[in-house]
Structure 1
Amino acid sequence: MSLTSTVADGAQVVTVNAQRIDAAMAIQFKEDMRTETDSGPPRVILDLSSVAFIDSSGLGAIVAVMKQLGKDRRLDLAGLTPMVEKVFRLTRMDTVFNLFDTLQDALDPEQLEH
């Protein structure tokens, strides 16, 4: 699983450089995310703009990453493609995560107030 990570505006931005997060990749995704987010700012933004497909294993992996961050850190999601966003809404995970249309929206301080 290819992830890239940067720090911008006080948040760690982790970009998924893959088209799928599915059962075949879920374990590797969790391990790579744990490595990337082992330490860092209290806010992590997961940029999913390249991800076109996610299944229940991928969804579970993202939830596991959120839990692994602990209570003092939070995971926000940005750039969800229509199919991925649909999965989050159908499973009501949009009530668990803050979803942002774009990475820029996620980094906009005014968006955090809503």
Structure 2
Amino acid sequence: MELLSEIRADALHVTVGEARIDSAVAIRFKERMREVAIGGPSRVVLDLGQVTFLDSSGLGAVVAVMKLLAPGQRLELCCLTPTVAKVFRLTRMDRVFTIHDDAGAAFAVASDCRE
């Protein structure tokens, strides 16, 4: 599971470098996310811009990652492709997660908070 991570505006920006998060990669996704997020900043922004397919196992993995984070950390999402956004809407998970249209919007939130 390819995940690229960088600290950006006091948050951890994690970009999924794969087109699918499904049952074949869900466990590896959770493990890699735990590795990159452990001990990181309080905001973890998961960039799903390259993900074109997310099944129920993938959705469950994203929810599991949210639960795996430390108590002071929160998972936010950005750059959802139309198909992935539809999965979040249909399952009402769009009400559980903070979802930003793009990475710029996700990190503008952080700079607005410091002003």
1:31-71 deviations in Å (ceiling 9; x for gaps): 00010111110000000000000000000000000001133
What residue is the counterpart of 2:12 in the other structure? 12
Alignment check: 8 A CA contact 1:105 1:111 kept: no
Over the aligned positions, Cα root-mean-square deviation in angstroms equals 1.5
Alignment check: 8 A CA contact 2:5 2:12 kept: yes
TM-score scaled by length of structure 1: 0.94
Report whether the alignment pairs 1:22 with 2:22: yes
1:44-99 deviations in Å (ceiling 9; x for gaps): 00000000000000000000000011331100000000000000000000010001
Give matches, 1:1-114, under 5 Å.
1-109=1-109
**Distance in 1 (alpha carbons) for counterparts of 2:73 and 2:90:** 25
Alignment check: 8 A CA contact 2:11 2:42 kept: yes
Count of matched residue pairs: 113
**Distance in 2 (alpha carbons) for counterparts of 1:71 and 1:112:** 23
TM-score scaled by length of structure 2: 0.94
Q: Deviating runs (4+, > 4 A) in structure 1?
A: 110-113
Q: Give secondary structure in 2 for the equivalent of 1:31.
A: helix
**Distance in 2 (alpha carbons) for counterparts of 1:70 and 1:85:** 26
Paired residue type of 1:44: V
Q: Which runs of 5+ in 2 are unaligned?
A: none
What percentage of residue pairs aligned between the two structures are identical?
Answer: 53
Alignment check: 8 A CA contact 2:10 2:110 kept: no
Q: Cα distance 1:112–1:59, how it changes in 2: closer, same or farther (>3 A)?
A: farther
